[in-house]
Structures are given as C-alpha cells and as structure tokens.
Amino acid sequence: MTQKRIRDYGIMPGRIKTGKRNKITDVPGVRVGHCTVKEGEIHTGVTVILPGPDNAFLNPYTAAAYVHNGFGKSCGLIQIQELGTLETPIALTNTLNVGKVWDAVAEYVLRQCENDGAEALSINPVVGECNDSRINRISLRAIGAGQVKKAFDAAGEDTEEGDVGAGAGTICYGLKGGIGTSSRVIKVGEKEYTIGVLVQSNFGATEDLMVDGRPLGREILEKYGNEAEDPVKKTAFSEQDKGSIMSILATDLPVTDRQLTRIIRRLGVGIARTGAYTGHGSGEVMIGFTTANRVPTKGLRREEEELRTLTAIPEETINRAFLAAAEAEEEAILNSMAAAGETRGLKGEYYRSLSDILSQEGEIH
C-alpha cells in the first residue's frame, strides 16, 4: 500500500520548494535504512542515516548537535559539540537499545576501517533514541547487531516513513507517530543547495496539535474524546507533552559547525509550528551535518598541511537556511504521522492514524 504523506491531503507546509523526493535523501549521497521488528509484544526497530558512500571515520563531516531539552539517553553528542565533526553514520532506536546499537555501529566502522587498511583506536558512534514503551515491550531489548546490519543493508534513497524502523513503536500527539522526512531547496549565489530533515516523532499532547495553523488536536478531542472511556475502542490520547523527538538535518550547504548549530536550533521552530511547547518529559535533540567542508583525518592530509581552508556562506544569507530547516521539520513531523497506520498499545489501547482522521480535503471524517 502506498504510504500517505501530508501533501496528499492538500496541506502544503511552508513556501520554499522541496527537493525531488521531499526527503532527507535529496541531499546527494545521503541514504537511510530501516529494520522493523513486529513480533508479539515487540513493536520497535532501528533506523540508520548514512551521510555518504565512503568511510566517515577517515573523512569526517562538519557537524553540530544541539539539545533543546535533555530528557534523553543519546550517545556521541558531546564529541560532535566539541570537535564539530561526525565520524560515523547516525542510528536511531528505542531507549533501552542505545548501548546495543552503539556496539553494532562501532563494529560496522571497525570493519570499514579494516577494509580500508586503517586502524580505528577511538570511535564516536552517534545513537539517538525515543521511548516506545507504550506500544513496545521495551524491556525485551529486541534490537541488536543483526537488526542494525539489516538496516545498513537496506539503506537507500527512497526511504519509507511512518511506523517503520525506529518509529515502529512511537506516538506523536497521542496519535501514531514514527519516522518522517522532508526537504527544501534554497539558492545562494548562483547555486542551489538542499536541506533535508528526518525525524523520529514521539512527543506532544493531543490538545496542542496544530496542522497548517489549525487547532486539529482540539477538534480530535471534541469528536473522539469520549472513546477514551469506551471499553472496546479504548482510543488513547496524550494529556502531556512528553516522550521525545530526534531530529536529523543533512545539507550540502557549505557552512561551519557554528553556522550549522544555528541552523539546527531552528528545527525547534518547526516543532513549535505543530503545537508542542517542549514539555518537561520530552527530549528534543537535534543533530546536523553537511556534506560540504569534509574534515579529513591526518592520514588523508599532506604531512606539511597545518592550515585548513573551507568555504562558508556569509551570515547575511543564513535566514534562507533557517526558514528551510523550520519548514522541513514541520513537514517531516506531519509526514511521520500521516504515513503511520493505526496501532494497538500493550494495554489494548488504540492509537489512531492521522491519515484515518484526515480526508482528502483535510477535514475530520
């Protein structure tokens, strides 16, 4: 079945044009892979974002990380913040599988280095997470090396959305959440650049949901709120803004890690456009990288090189990237919900799909 996206309902977030696929993989070289596990009480997975086709450990990417609210258990952020580089693919999973996925990504990089004739003595795998315990029996810790390998093997440009990979068990605004992505194209000088975003959405109170400036969450509660007490339907809603969202931004725009930090902070604007206010129990973590301005390790530089030259946009043009990041984030969140199907939680509760609520005219059924 073809997955629905928010634009299929006539809702067009923002005003900047999208990339060809309207996905993070519109950034040249970026690929995404998922492994989804749905067996009995297990409803979870892992998603990997590969910044390029080569070994990132030997030729790191200029990168940035920003923690908007730190209720989370991510790995690898402090080195990105300190050095401004990304040296591994990025993986997303559930809270209790971060360590196991870290180990699998480290092994993946070790094998890459071995094949490239290099020795890796210190690796900084980057792993993000959301807590999917309302739908997934998280204590079973179902994601390990085998699932991570399947995600890497499945990596490609035409990535799926919704309740796949790390989004299999997530909830967004009390509806089914998941993986969502979007992209925007901006022009600087005579050249076009792409900004792509991928989210793992697991946050928000139902009442706060805004879609295209419309208080859809309140309308949903007015129409379906009484179903929460129905012993058969047991429709679930979220009363609090909690649960977390991981946001990954990729671009080919030439920027410094400082400029990239400024850009990824605007992902919070996109989150706010969907209605959330960043509640106490929600972790908002943003990670960004650019495929421009690679930072080769010593082995790939001439020994006499002591200075590094890079290209960066002037600050006067950065507003274009700010707006593109905010728009792509908003649409990625809505896509994560529109593409996800209805799901039952571990207690039998029912999480509706946004696509089941919206008609082709964007009205509630």
Structure tokens at 259: 């400029």
Residue 252: closest CA among 203, 288, 227: 288
Q: Which of 247, 282, 336, 355 is catalytic?
A: 282
Whose tokens are 């997530």? That residue is 170
Burial class (CB in 10 A: 0-12, 13-18, 19+), 82: exposed
Q: How far apart are CA 277 and CA 275, in angstroms?
A: 7
Active site residue 41: no
Q: Within 10 Å of residue 322's Cβ, how many Cβ atoms?
A: 16
Check if the beta carbon of residue 157 is closer than 8 Å to that of residue 330.
Answer: no
Give the CA distances from residue 3 to residues 10, 36, 114, 212, in Å, rounded to whole numbers and listed in that order: 15, 16, 39, 20
Q: Which of 74, 244, 247, 355 is catalytic?
A: 244
Q: How far apart are CA 56 and CA 52, in angstroms?
A: 8
Active site residue 239: no
Structure tokens at 41: 């009480």
Q: Which of 129, 161, 207, 284 is catalytic?
A: 284
Active site residue 284: yes
Q: Within 10 Å of residue 185's Cβ, how many Cβ atoms?
A: 16
**Residue positions annotated with a catalytic role:** 244, 282, 284
